[in-house]
Copies of this chain bind each other. A is one copy, B any other.
Amino acid sequence: MTHAQRLAALRAELARLDVDGFLVPRSDEYLGEYVAPSGERLAWLSGFTGSAGMAVVLAGRAAIFTDGRYTTQVAQQTDAALWERRHLIDEPPHEWLRQHGAGLRVAYDPWVHTEAALARFSGVTLVPLTANPIDAVWADRPAPPAAPARVHAAQFSGREAVAKREDAAAELRRDGHAAAVLADPHSIAWLLNIRGADLANTPLALGFAVLRDDASVQLFMPPAKLPAEVRTHLGNAVDVADRATLPAALGALRGKRVRCDADATPAWFARTLRDAGAEPVVGDDPCRMPRATKNAVEQQGARDAHARDAVAMARFLAWFAREAPGGGLTEISAAEQLLAFRREVALFQGESFPAISGAGPNGAIVHYRASAETNRAIHPNECYLIDSGGQYQDGTTDITRTLWSGPGAAPESLRERYTRVLQGHIALGTARFPKGVAGPHLDALARRPLWDAGLDYDHGTGHGVGSFLSVHEGPAAFSRAAKNVALVAGMILSDEPGFYLPGAYGIRIENLLLVRDATPRADQAKPFLEFETLTLAPYCRALIATALLTAAERAWINAYHARVRDTVAPHCDATTREWLFAETAPC
Protein backbone atom coordinates (compact mmCIF):
# COMPACT_ATOMS: atom_id res chain seq x y z
CA MET A 1 0.00 0.00 0.00
CA THR A 2 1.16 3.54 -0.69
CA HIS A 3 1.12 5.99 2.16
CA ALA A 4 -1.95 7.63 0.66
CA GLN A 5 -3.70 4.26 0.70
CA ARG A 6 -2.63 3.60 4.26
CA LEU A 7 -3.99 6.94 5.44
CA ALA A 8 -7.25 6.30 3.60
CA ALA A 9 -7.55 2.86 5.13
CA LEU A 10 -7.01 4.29 8.59
CA ARG A 11 -9.62 6.96 7.97
CA ALA A 12 -12.10 4.31 6.89
CA GLU A 13 -11.42 2.40 10.09
CA LEU A 14 -11.89 5.53 12.17
CA ALA A 15 -15.21 6.19 10.46
CA ARG A 16 -16.24 2.64 11.21
CA LEU A 17 -15.37 3.26 14.86
CA ASP A 18 -17.43 6.45 14.77
CA VAL A 19 -14.59 8.75 15.79
CA ASP A 20 -13.39 11.93 14.12
CA GLY A 21 -9.66 11.51 14.54
CA PHE A 22 -6.77 9.51 15.97
CA LEU A 23 -3.44 10.22 17.68
CA VAL A 24 -0.36 8.39 16.38
CA PRO A 25 2.67 8.83 18.61
CA ARG A 26 6.01 7.33 17.75
CA SER A 27 5.97 5.22 20.92
CA ASP A 28 4.89 1.66 21.34
CA GLU A 29 3.51 0.32 24.62
CA TYR A 30 6.95 0.34 26.23
CA LEU A 31 7.24 4.14 25.79
CA GLY A 32 10.97 3.78 25.27
CA GLU A 33 13.60 5.24 23.00
CA TYR A 34 13.78 2.18 20.79
CA VAL A 35 10.70 0.64 19.23
CA ALA A 36 10.38 -2.89 17.89
CA PRO A 37 9.35 -3.13 14.21
CA SER A 38 5.87 -4.26 15.23
CA GLY A 39 5.42 -0.93 17.03
CA GLU A 40 6.61 1.40 14.29
CA ARG A 41 3.10 2.59 13.46
CA LEU A 42 4.01 6.23 12.80
CA ALA A 43 6.67 5.19 10.31
CA TRP A 44 4.32 2.72 8.56
CA LEU A 45 1.58 5.31 8.28
CA SER A 46 3.54 8.40 7.32
CA GLY A 47 6.97 7.32 6.11
CA PHE A 48 8.70 9.35 8.82
CA THR A 49 11.35 7.26 10.62
CA GLY A 50 12.73 9.73 13.17
CA SER A 51 13.01 8.72 16.82
CA ALA A 52 10.44 11.22 18.11
CA GLY A 53 7.24 12.70 16.75
CA MET A 54 3.47 12.39 16.59
CA ALA A 55 0.81 12.48 13.92
CA VAL A 56 -2.80 13.55 14.30
CA VAL A 57 -5.27 12.21 11.73
CA LEU A 58 -8.65 13.87 11.20
CA ALA A 59 -11.18 13.05 8.49
CA GLY A 60 -10.19 15.94 6.24
CA ARG A 61 -6.69 16.86 7.34
CA ALA A 62 -3.66 15.32 9.00
CA ALA A 63 -0.55 16.75 10.60
CA ILE A 64 2.80 15.35 11.65
CA PHE A 65 4.72 17.00 14.48
CA THR A 66 8.52 16.77 14.88
CA ASP A 67 11.20 18.68 16.76
CA GLY A 68 14.11 20.67 15.35
CA ARG A 69 16.28 17.61 14.77
CA TYR A 70 13.95 16.29 12.09
CA THR A 71 12.66 19.27 10.11
CA THR A 72 14.56 18.27 7.00
CA GLN A 73 13.99 14.56 7.45
CA VAL A 74 10.22 14.82 7.84
CA ALA A 75 10.02 17.00 4.74
CA GLN A 76 11.96 14.41 2.78
CA GLN A 77 10.15 11.33 4.08
CA THR A 78 6.49 12.40 4.14
CA ASP A 79 4.09 13.42 1.40
CA ALA A 80 3.21 17.11 1.72
CA ALA A 81 -0.10 16.44 0.00
CA LEU A 82 -1.10 14.15 2.87
CA TRP A 83 0.63 15.66 5.89
CA GLU A 84 0.88 19.19 7.23
CA ARG A 85 4.31 19.48 8.92
CA ARG A 86 4.30 21.18 12.31
CA HIS A 87 6.92 21.83 15.01
CA LEU A 88 6.38 19.58 18.02
CA ILE A 89 7.50 22.20 20.54
CA ASP A 90 6.30 25.44 18.95
CA GLU A 91 2.88 24.13 17.94
CA PRO A 92 2.31 20.89 19.79
CA PRO A 93 -0.52 18.50 18.86
CA HIS A 94 -2.74 19.56 21.75
CA GLU A 95 -2.63 23.19 20.63
CA TRP A 96 -3.14 22.30 16.97
CA LEU A 97 -6.18 20.23 17.92
CA ARG A 98 -7.55 23.02 20.10
CA GLN A 99 -7.57 25.18 16.97
CA HIS A 100 -8.48 22.71 14.25
CA GLY A 101 -10.37 19.97 16.03
CA ALA A 102 -12.46 21.72 18.64
CA GLY A 103 -15.42 19.63 19.70
CA LEU A 104 -14.33 16.53 17.81
CA ARG A 105 -14.11 12.98 19.18
CA VAL A 106 -10.43 12.07 18.84
CA ALA A 107 -9.50 8.47 19.53
CA TYR A 108 -6.29 7.19 21.08
CA ASP A 109 -4.69 3.89 22.00
CA PRO A 110 -4.26 4.02 25.81
CA TRP A 111 -1.27 1.70 25.54
CA VAL A 112 0.93 4.26 23.78
CA HIS A 113 0.42 7.45 25.80
CA THR A 114 1.04 8.39 29.42
CA GLU A 115 -1.83 9.96 31.34
CA ALA A 116 0.20 13.12 31.70
CA ALA A 117 0.58 13.43 27.92
CA LEU A 118 -3.16 12.96 27.40
CA ALA A 119 -3.98 15.51 30.08
CA ARG A 120 -2.56 18.29 27.90
CA PHE A 121 -5.39 17.91 25.40
CA SER A 122 -8.46 20.10 25.80
CA GLY A 123 -11.33 21.18 23.63
CA VAL A 124 -11.70 17.68 22.16
CA THR A 125 -13.25 14.51 23.52
CA LEU A 126 -10.55 11.89 23.84
CA VAL A 127 -11.91 8.41 23.15
CA PRO A 128 -9.89 5.41 24.30
CA LEU A 129 -9.95 2.40 21.99
CA THR A 130 -9.53 -1.24 22.93
CA ALA A 131 -7.31 -1.94 19.94
CA ASN A 132 -5.06 0.21 17.80
CA PRO A 133 -6.89 0.89 14.50
CA ILE A 134 -3.61 0.95 12.60
CA ASP A 135 -3.16 -2.73 13.45
CA ALA A 136 -6.49 -3.44 11.75
CA VAL A 137 -5.27 -2.03 8.45
CA TRP A 138 -1.54 -2.83 8.63
CA ALA A 139 -1.87 -6.13 6.84
CA ASP A 140 1.75 -7.25 6.93
CA ARG A 141 2.52 -5.95 10.37
CA PRO A 142 5.49 -7.83 11.82
CA ALA A 143 4.95 -10.02 14.85
CA PRO A 144 6.15 -8.59 18.14
CA PRO A 145 9.67 -9.70 18.98
CA ALA A 146 9.73 -13.07 20.73
CA ALA A 147 13.36 -13.70 21.48
CA PRO A 148 13.86 -15.93 24.51
CA ALA A 149 14.81 -14.36 27.79
CA ARG A 150 18.04 -15.35 29.46
CA VAL A 151 19.39 -15.42 32.99
CA HIS A 152 21.64 -12.49 33.96
CA ALA A 153 24.14 -14.34 36.08
CA ALA A 154 25.07 -13.32 39.61
CA GLN A 155 28.67 -12.77 38.53
CA PHE A 156 27.32 -9.87 36.50
CA SER A 157 24.34 -8.66 38.56
CA GLY A 158 26.07 -8.80 41.93
CA ARG A 159 22.77 -9.13 43.79
CA GLU A 160 20.14 -11.85 43.93
CA ALA A 161 16.75 -11.00 42.52
CA VAL A 162 15.05 -12.05 45.75
CA ALA A 163 16.97 -9.33 47.62
CA LYS A 164 16.05 -6.74 45.01
CA ARG A 165 12.39 -7.74 45.18
CA GLU A 166 12.42 -7.55 48.97
CA ASP A 167 13.94 -4.06 48.98
CA ALA A 168 11.47 -2.75 46.43
CA ALA A 169 8.54 -4.33 48.28
CA ALA A 170 9.67 -2.76 51.55
CA GLU A 171 9.54 0.63 49.83
CA LEU A 172 6.00 -0.06 48.68
CA ARG A 173 4.93 -1.11 52.18
CA ARG A 174 6.50 2.05 53.63
CA ASP A 175 4.28 4.14 51.35
CA GLY A 176 1.15 2.07 51.81
CA HIS A 177 1.20 0.82 48.22
CA ALA A 178 -0.11 -2.70 47.77
CA ALA A 179 1.63 -3.06 44.45
CA ALA A 180 3.54 -1.24 41.73
CA VAL A 181 3.07 -1.52 38.00
CA LEU A 182 6.45 -2.06 36.34
CA ALA A 183 5.89 -0.78 32.83
CA ASP A 184 9.57 -0.32 31.98
CA PRO A 185 11.20 -3.50 30.67
CA HIS A 186 14.59 -2.21 31.86
CA SER A 187 13.31 -2.26 35.44
CA ILE A 188 11.88 -5.75 35.01
CA ALA A 189 15.18 -6.99 33.61
CA TRP A 190 17.13 -5.45 36.47
CA LEU A 191 14.73 -6.62 39.17
CA LEU A 192 14.50 -10.24 38.05
CA ASN A 193 18.08 -10.53 36.77
CA ILE A 194 17.00 -11.51 33.29
CA ARG A 195 17.97 -10.18 29.89
CA GLY A 196 16.63 -10.69 26.39
CA ALA A 197 17.10 -9.87 22.73
CA ASP A 198 13.87 -8.18 21.67
CA LEU A 199 15.56 -4.94 20.60
CA ALA A 200 18.63 -4.56 18.44
CA ASN A 201 20.79 -2.63 20.86
CA THR A 202 19.36 -3.19 24.34
CA PRO A 203 19.21 -6.72 25.81
CA LEU A 204 15.58 -6.63 26.90
CA ALA A 205 12.80 -9.15 27.11
CA LEU A 206 9.78 -6.95 26.47
CA GLY A 207 6.86 -7.33 28.85
CA PHE A 208 5.13 -5.86 31.87
CA ALA A 209 5.09 -6.78 35.53
CA VAL A 210 3.32 -6.07 38.77
CA LEU A 211 5.39 -6.12 41.94
CA ARG A 212 3.36 -6.76 45.08
CA ASP A 213 4.15 -5.58 48.56
CA ASP A 214 4.99 -9.14 49.64
CA ALA A 215 7.83 -9.08 47.10
CA SER A 216 6.08 -11.44 44.70
CA VAL A 217 5.96 -10.49 41.04
CA GLN A 218 3.50 -11.17 38.28
CA LEU A 219 5.36 -11.13 34.97
CA PHE A 220 3.26 -10.54 31.84
CA MET A 221 4.96 -11.85 28.75
CA PRO A 222 4.30 -14.82 26.50
CA PRO A 223 5.33 -17.84 28.59
CA ALA A 224 7.04 -19.24 25.53
CA LYS A 225 9.66 -16.50 25.89
CA LEU A 226 10.91 -18.04 29.11
CA PRO A 227 13.01 -21.18 28.71
CA ALA A 228 13.06 -23.68 31.54
CA GLU A 229 16.27 -22.42 33.08
CA VAL A 230 14.85 -18.91 33.24
CA ARG A 231 11.66 -20.18 34.89
CA THR A 232 13.77 -21.98 37.46
CA HIS A 233 15.87 -18.86 37.97
CA LEU A 234 12.77 -16.73 38.49
CA GLY A 235 11.61 -18.98 41.29
CA ASN A 236 8.29 -19.50 43.00
CA ALA A 237 7.63 -15.87 43.84
CA VAL A 238 7.34 -14.92 40.18
CA ASP A 239 4.28 -15.94 38.17
CA VAL A 240 4.33 -15.75 34.40
CA ALA A 241 1.24 -15.21 32.29
CA ASP A 242 0.31 -13.73 28.97
CA ARG A 243 -0.52 -10.04 28.78
CA ALA A 244 -4.16 -10.96 28.16
CA THR A 245 -4.44 -11.80 31.86
CA LEU A 246 -3.47 -8.27 32.93
CA PRO A 247 -7.02 -6.94 33.36
CA ALA A 248 -7.92 -9.78 35.72
CA ALA A 249 -4.65 -9.36 37.60
CA LEU A 250 -5.29 -5.64 38.09
CA GLY A 251 -8.86 -6.46 39.11
CA ALA A 252 -7.50 -8.40 42.04
CA LEU A 253 -6.14 -5.08 43.36
CA ARG A 254 -9.60 -3.66 44.04
CA GLY A 255 -9.52 -1.27 46.99
CA LYS A 256 -5.74 -1.15 46.98
CA ARG A 257 -3.33 1.66 46.21
CA VAL A 258 -1.13 0.79 43.23
CA ARG A 259 1.97 2.80 42.34
CA CYS A 260 2.37 3.83 38.72
CA ASP A 261 5.31 5.83 37.43
CA ALA A 262 3.89 8.89 35.67
CA ASP A 263 6.61 9.15 33.03
CA ALA A 264 6.80 5.50 32.06
CA THR A 265 3.34 3.92 32.37
CA PRO A 266 0.77 3.69 29.60
CA ALA A 267 -2.52 5.37 30.43
CA TRP A 268 -4.15 1.96 30.02
CA PHE A 269 -2.96 0.89 33.45
CA ALA A 270 -4.42 3.72 35.52
CA ARG A 271 -7.71 3.51 33.59
CA THR A 272 -7.95 -0.23 34.08
CA LEU A 273 -7.09 0.05 37.76
CA ARG A 274 -9.78 2.66 38.31
CA ASP A 275 -12.34 0.62 36.42
CA ALA A 276 -11.49 -2.27 38.74
CA GLY A 277 -11.97 -0.17 41.86
CA ALA A 278 -8.27 0.10 42.61
CA GLU A 279 -6.51 3.41 43.27
CA PRO A 280 -3.56 4.22 41.00
CA VAL A 281 -1.15 6.57 42.76
CA VAL A 282 1.71 8.41 41.12
CA GLY A 283 5.10 7.32 42.39
CA ASP A 284 8.57 6.53 41.14
CA ASP A 285 9.33 3.14 39.66
CA PRO A 286 11.03 1.56 42.71
CA CYS A 287 13.72 0.04 40.46
CA ARG A 288 14.88 3.26 38.88
CA MET A 289 17.33 4.51 41.49
CA PRO A 290 18.71 1.09 42.49
CA ARG A 291 19.58 0.22 38.91
CA ALA A 292 21.13 3.62 38.34
CA THR A 293 23.44 3.15 41.34
CA LYS A 294 25.61 0.20 40.37
CA ASN A 295 26.73 -2.20 43.11
CA ALA A 296 30.36 -3.22 43.54
CA VAL A 297 30.07 -6.15 41.14
CA GLU A 298 28.41 -4.03 38.46
CA GLN A 299 31.07 -1.35 38.97
CA GLN A 300 33.87 -3.85 38.50
CA GLY A 301 32.01 -5.26 35.53
CA ALA A 302 31.93 -1.80 34.02
CA ARG A 303 35.70 -1.49 34.49
CA ASP A 304 36.30 -4.91 32.97
CA ALA A 305 34.02 -4.31 29.98
CA HIS A 306 35.67 -0.96 29.33
CA ALA A 307 39.15 -2.45 29.52
CA ARG A 308 38.23 -5.02 26.89
CA ASP A 309 36.30 -2.53 24.75
CA ALA A 310 39.40 -0.37 24.87
CA VAL A 311 41.37 -3.04 23.01
CA ALA A 312 38.87 -2.94 20.15
CA MET A 313 39.01 0.84 20.17
CA ALA A 314 42.81 0.90 20.15
CA ARG A 315 42.92 -1.55 17.25
CA PHE A 316 40.45 0.63 15.38
CA LEU A 317 42.30 3.88 16.05
CA ALA A 318 45.57 2.31 14.97
CA TRP A 319 43.92 0.90 11.85
CA PHE A 320 42.39 4.31 11.09
CA ALA A 321 45.76 6.02 11.51
CA ARG A 322 47.25 3.62 8.95
CA GLU A 323 44.41 3.63 6.42
CA ALA A 324 42.86 7.09 6.52
CA PRO A 325 45.68 9.19 5.08
CA GLY A 326 45.51 7.23 1.85
CA GLY A 327 41.80 7.82 1.35
CA GLY A 328 39.59 4.87 0.48
CA LEU A 329 37.70 4.69 3.72
CA THR A 330 34.02 5.58 4.00
CA GLU A 331 31.86 6.35 6.99
CA ILE A 332 30.23 2.93 6.72
CA SER A 333 33.41 0.95 6.10
CA ALA A 334 35.09 2.55 9.10
CA ALA A 335 32.13 1.88 11.41
CA GLU A 336 32.03 -1.70 10.16
CA GLN A 337 35.71 -2.18 10.90
CA LEU A 338 35.19 -0.96 14.46
CA LEU A 339 32.27 -3.34 14.86
CA ALA A 340 34.43 -6.16 13.54
CA PHE A 341 37.05 -5.40 16.19
CA ARG A 342 34.35 -5.33 18.89
CA ARG A 343 33.00 -8.68 17.78
CA GLU A 344 36.31 -10.19 18.80
CA VAL A 345 35.97 -8.98 22.37
CA ALA A 346 34.89 -11.45 25.04
CA LEU A 347 31.28 -11.21 26.25
CA PHE A 348 30.32 -8.86 23.38
CA GLN A 349 26.57 -9.08 22.70
CA GLY A 350 26.10 -6.39 20.07
CA GLU A 351 26.29 -2.64 19.63
CA SER A 352 24.73 -0.49 22.35
CA PHE A 353 23.39 1.82 19.60
CA PRO A 354 23.89 2.27 15.85
CA ALA A 355 27.24 3.99 15.47
CA ILE A 356 27.39 7.66 14.52
CA SER A 357 30.16 7.83 11.90
CA GLY A 358 30.50 11.32 10.41
CA ALA A 359 33.27 12.59 8.18
CA GLY A 360 33.84 16.23 7.35
CA PRO A 361 30.60 18.19 7.31
CA ASN A 362 28.55 15.11 8.27
CA GLY A 363 30.22 15.31 11.67
CA ALA A 364 28.36 18.55 12.26
CA ILE A 365 24.98 16.83 12.01
CA VAL A 366 24.54 15.82 15.63
CA HIS A 367 22.17 12.91 14.99
CA TYR A 368 23.75 11.82 11.72
CA ARG A 369 23.54 8.17 10.76
CA ALA A 370 25.41 7.09 7.66
CA SER A 371 23.18 5.30 5.22
CA ALA A 372 23.73 3.92 1.74
CA GLU A 373 22.41 7.20 0.34
CA THR A 374 24.48 9.48 2.51
CA ASN A 375 27.63 7.41 2.96
CA ARG A 376 30.59 9.70 2.48
CA ALA A 377 34.23 9.00 1.85
CA ILE A 378 36.65 9.90 4.62
CA HIS A 379 39.02 12.12 2.74
CA PRO A 380 42.61 12.83 3.70
CA ASN A 381 43.14 15.84 5.91
CA GLU A 382 39.69 16.09 7.38
CA CYS A 383 37.89 15.67 10.68
CA TYR A 384 36.12 12.38 11.44
CA LEU A 385 33.77 11.71 14.38
CA ILE A 386 32.95 8.19 15.58
CA ASP A 387 30.45 7.66 18.42
CA SER A 388 29.90 3.98 19.17
CA GLY A 389 29.50 1.44 21.96
CA GLY A 390 29.05 -2.14 22.93
CA GLN A 391 26.82 -4.27 25.05
CA TYR A 392 28.84 -6.70 27.16
CA GLN A 393 27.33 -9.00 29.74
CA ASP A 394 29.35 -7.18 32.40
CA GLY A 395 28.72 -3.64 31.17
CA THR A 396 27.59 -1.17 28.53
CA THR A 397 30.04 1.13 26.76
CA ASP A 398 29.61 4.39 24.83
CA ILE A 399 32.63 6.32 23.53
CA THR A 400 33.19 9.17 21.08
CA ARG A 401 36.49 10.11 19.56
CA THR A 402 37.17 12.77 16.95
CA LEU A 403 40.06 12.05 14.62
CA TRP A 404 42.15 13.80 12.02
CA SER A 405 42.63 11.66 8.93
CA GLY A 406 45.92 13.26 7.93
CA PRO A 407 48.55 13.04 6.69
CA GLY A 408 48.87 16.84 6.80
CA ALA A 409 48.62 18.96 9.94
CA ALA A 410 45.19 19.97 11.18
CA PRO A 411 44.24 23.64 10.79
CA GLU A 412 44.85 25.89 13.79
CA SER A 413 41.19 26.84 14.28
CA LEU A 414 40.09 23.19 14.31
CA ARG A 415 42.77 22.35 16.88
CA GLU A 416 41.75 25.31 19.03
CA ARG A 417 38.12 24.20 19.04
CA TYR A 418 39.06 20.55 19.65
CA THR A 419 41.18 21.63 22.57
CA ARG A 420 38.39 23.73 24.10
CA VAL A 421 36.06 20.74 23.87
CA LEU A 422 38.78 18.62 25.48
CA GLN A 423 39.30 21.16 28.26
CA GLY A 424 35.59 21.12 29.08
CA HIS A 425 35.54 17.32 28.95
CA ILE A 426 38.47 17.24 31.39
CA ALA A 427 36.96 19.92 33.66
CA LEU A 428 33.84 17.82 34.12
CA GLY A 429 35.67 14.51 34.46
CA THR A 430 37.97 15.89 37.19
CA ALA A 431 35.23 17.59 39.21
CA ARG A 432 34.91 16.91 42.93
CA PHE A 433 31.63 17.97 44.49
CA PRO A 434 29.58 17.51 47.65
CA LYS A 435 26.56 15.24 47.93
CA GLY A 436 23.37 16.91 46.78
CA VAL A 437 24.87 18.32 43.60
CA ALA A 438 22.97 17.19 40.48
CA GLY A 439 23.95 16.83 36.84
CA PRO A 440 22.47 20.19 35.73
CA HIS A 441 24.75 21.94 38.24
CA LEU A 442 27.89 20.55 36.60
CA ASP A 443 26.95 21.08 32.96
CA ALA A 444 28.59 24.51 32.85
CA LEU A 445 31.97 23.02 33.76
CA ALA A 446 32.04 21.19 30.42
CA ARG A 447 30.88 24.23 28.46
CA ARG A 448 33.01 26.96 30.04
CA PRO A 449 36.04 26.77 27.72
CA LEU A 450 33.71 26.97 24.72
CA TRP A 451 31.52 29.69 26.23
CA ASP A 452 34.61 31.81 26.83
CA ALA A 453 35.07 31.86 23.05
CA GLY A 454 31.40 32.50 22.31
CA LEU A 455 30.84 28.87 21.29
CA ASP A 456 28.43 26.20 22.52
CA TYR A 457 26.83 22.88 21.56
CA ASP A 458 23.12 22.16 21.24
CA HIS A 459 22.85 18.90 23.06
CA GLY A 460 23.15 17.70 26.65
CA THR A 461 26.55 17.14 28.17
CA GLY A 462 25.86 13.57 29.25
CA HIS A 463 23.39 10.83 30.11
CA GLY A 464 23.26 7.90 32.49
CA VAL A 465 24.25 4.42 31.27
CA GLY A 466 22.96 1.03 32.43
CA SER A 467 24.73 -2.18 33.32
CA PHE A 468 24.19 -4.42 30.30
CA LEU A 469 21.00 -2.42 29.88
CA SER A 470 20.15 0.85 28.19
CA VAL A 471 22.90 3.12 26.91
CA HIS A 472 20.57 6.01 27.79
CA GLU A 473 19.46 5.46 31.38
CA GLY A 474 17.88 7.92 33.82
CA PRO A 475 17.33 9.53 36.14
CA ALA A 476 20.58 11.51 36.34
CA ALA A 477 22.00 13.45 33.40
CA PHE A 478 24.42 16.32 32.77
CA SER A 479 21.73 18.40 31.15
CA ARG A 480 20.11 21.71 32.06
CA ALA A 481 16.81 20.25 30.93
CA ALA A 482 17.02 17.28 33.29
CA LYS A 483 15.44 17.08 36.71
CA ASN A 484 17.67 17.81 39.68
CA VAL A 485 18.62 14.28 40.73
CA ALA A 486 21.58 14.32 43.10
CA LEU A 487 24.58 12.35 41.83
CA VAL A 488 25.24 9.28 43.95
CA ALA A 489 28.16 6.85 44.12
CA GLY A 490 27.67 4.03 41.63
CA MET A 491 26.05 6.08 38.90
CA ILE A 492 27.62 5.91 35.44
CA LEU A 493 27.25 8.95 33.18
CA SER A 494 28.71 10.09 29.88
CA ASP A 495 30.86 13.22 29.61
CA GLU A 496 30.47 14.36 26.00
CA PRO A 497 30.81 18.02 25.10
CA GLY A 498 31.26 18.94 21.46
CA PHE A 499 31.43 21.68 18.91
CA TYR A 500 29.81 21.65 15.48
CA LEU A 501 30.50 23.96 12.58
CA PRO A 502 27.76 23.32 9.98
CA GLY A 503 29.16 22.53 6.58
CA ALA A 504 32.65 21.97 7.96
CA TYR A 505 33.15 19.53 10.82
CA GLY A 506 31.94 18.15 14.11
CA ILE A 507 33.89 17.54 17.29
CA ARG A 508 32.76 15.43 20.22
CA ILE A 509 34.88 13.80 22.92
CA GLU A 510 33.12 11.29 25.18
CA ASN A 511 34.16 9.17 28.11
CA LEU A 512 31.98 7.33 30.61
CA LEU A 513 32.44 8.29 34.25
CA LEU A 514 31.64 6.30 37.40
CA VAL A 515 30.65 8.33 40.47
CA ARG A 516 32.58 7.37 43.61
CA ASP A 517 33.37 8.69 47.07
CA ALA A 518 36.38 11.00 47.11
CA THR A 519 39.23 10.72 49.58
CA PRO A 520 38.70 13.38 52.25
CA ARG A 521 41.01 16.41 52.39
CA ALA A 522 42.13 18.51 55.35
CA ASP A 523 39.32 20.61 56.90
CA GLN A 524 36.81 18.83 54.70
CA ALA A 525 33.56 19.26 56.59
CA LYS A 526 31.36 17.01 54.46
CA PRO A 527 31.66 14.01 52.16
CA PHE A 528 32.67 14.68 48.57
CA LEU A 529 32.19 12.67 45.39
CA GLU A 530 34.34 12.46 42.29
CA PHE A 531 34.46 10.59 38.99
CA GLU A 532 36.47 7.56 37.98
CA THR A 533 37.02 7.54 34.22
CA LEU A 534 35.97 4.18 32.80
CA THR A 535 36.75 4.81 29.14
CA LEU A 536 40.33 4.10 28.07
CA ALA A 537 41.25 5.52 24.69
CA PRO A 538 43.74 8.18 23.64
CA TYR A 539 42.68 11.64 22.60
CA CYS A 540 43.76 12.72 19.15
CA ARG A 541 47.32 13.99 19.30
CA ALA A 542 47.05 15.72 15.95
CA LEU A 543 44.12 17.82 17.17
CA ILE A 544 45.41 18.94 20.57
CA ALA A 545 46.77 22.47 20.65
CA THR A 546 49.08 21.89 23.59
CA ALA A 547 49.94 25.59 23.87
CA LEU A 548 46.35 26.24 25.02
CA LEU A 549 46.49 23.73 27.86
CA THR A 550 47.28 24.66 31.43
CA ALA A 551 50.03 22.73 33.14
CA ALA A 552 47.40 20.87 35.17
CA GLU A 553 45.46 19.88 32.05
CA ARG A 554 48.59 18.66 30.29
CA ALA A 555 49.55 16.64 33.36
CA TRP A 556 46.09 15.10 33.51
CA ILE A 557 46.16 14.11 29.83
CA ASN A 558 49.58 12.55 30.20
CA ALA A 559 48.54 10.63 33.29
CA TYR A 560 45.36 9.43 31.59
CA HIS A 561 47.28 8.41 28.48
CA ALA A 562 49.77 6.53 30.65
CA ARG A 563 46.88 4.68 32.29
CA VAL A 564 45.47 3.83 28.85
CA ARG A 565 48.84 2.57 27.71
CA ASP A 566 49.45 0.48 30.81
CA THR A 567 45.97 -1.04 30.83
CA VAL A 568 45.40 -1.62 27.13
CA ALA A 569 48.76 -2.17 25.45
CA PRO A 570 49.46 -5.56 27.00
CA HIS A 571 46.32 -6.92 25.31
CA CYS A 572 47.04 -5.57 21.84
CA ASP A 573 48.91 -6.87 18.86
CA ALA A 574 52.34 -5.40 18.20
CA THR A 575 51.19 -2.99 15.51
CA THR A 576 48.46 -1.55 17.68
CA ARG A 577 50.83 -1.42 20.63
CA GLU A 578 53.36 0.54 18.62
CA TRP A 579 50.71 3.06 17.59
CA LEU A 580 49.41 3.27 21.16
CA PHE A 581 52.85 4.07 22.55
CA ALA A 582 53.36 6.83 19.99
CA GLU A 583 49.90 8.32 20.51
CA THR A 584 50.19 8.32 24.31
CA ALA A 585 53.68 9.73 24.55
CA PRO A 586 53.69 12.73 26.90
CA CYS A 587 52.57 15.98 25.29
Contact = CB atoms under 8 A, between A and B. Distances in A.
Interface of A: 431-434, 436-438, 440-445, 447-448, 451-456, 480, 484, 501, 518, 520-526, 528, 550
Contacts of A480: 436-438, 441, 484
11 contacts: A431-B448, A431-B451, A433-B444, A433-B447, A433-B451, A440-B484, A442-B444, A444-B444, A444-B445, A455-B523, A480-B484
A431 B454 CA distance: 11
Nearest to A499: B523
A24 B525 CA distance: 35
B451 A520 contact: no
Contacts of A433: 444, 447, 451
Given A431-B448, A437-B444, A454-B521, 5 more contacts: A433-B444, A451-B528, A453-B521, A480-B484, A501-B523
A555 B526 CA distance: 33
A436 B442 CA distance: 16
Contacts of A518: 454
Contact of A454 (B437, B440, B454, B524): B524
A270 B522 CA distance: 53
Contacts of A452: 432
Prevailing SS type, chain A contact patch: loop
Nearest to A427: B448
Contacts of A442: 444
Contacts of A431: 444, 448, 451
A206 B438 CA distance: 39
A522 B444 contact: no
Contacts of A523: 454-455, 501
A445 B433 CA distance: 12
A528 B450 CA distance: 12
A448 B445 contact: yes
Contacts of A454: 432, 518, 520-524, 528
A454 B432 CA distance: 7
A459 to B, nearest CB: 13
A456 B434 contact: yes
Contacts of A434: 451, 456
Contacts of A455: 521, 523-525
A454 B455 CA distance: 30
Nearest to A453: B521
A378 B453 CA distance: 45
Nearest to A430: B452
Choose among A438, A454, A524 the residue with the greatest number of B CB atoms under 10 Å from its CB. A454
A501 B523 CA distance: 8
Contacts of A432: 451-452, 454
A526 B441 contact: no
A520 B456 CA distance: 13
A89 to B, nearest CB: 13
Nearest to A501: B523
A430 to B, nearest CB: 8
A525 B453 CA distance: 11
Contacts of A520: 454
A525 to B, nearest CB: 7
A400 B447 CA distance: 29
A457 B445 CA distance: 19
A452 B436 CA distance: 16
Contacts of A550: 550
A501 to B, nearest CB: 7
Contacts of A484: 440, 480
Contacts of A521: 453-455
A522 B528 CA distance: 39
A448 B438 CA distance: 14
Nearest to A500: B525
Nearest to A522: B454
A456 B525 contact: yes
A33 to B, nearest CB: 24
| A-B pairs, 7 with minimum CB distance | A454-B521, A454-B524, A432-B451, A441-B444, A434-B456, A433-B451, A441-B480
Contacts of A438: 480
A434 B458 CA distance: 11
A461 to B, nearest CB: 11
A437 to B, nearest CB: 7
Nearest to A433: B451
A244 B316 CA distance: 80
Contact of A441 (B436, B441, B501, B528): B441
Contacts of A525: 455-456
A431 B518 CA distance: 27
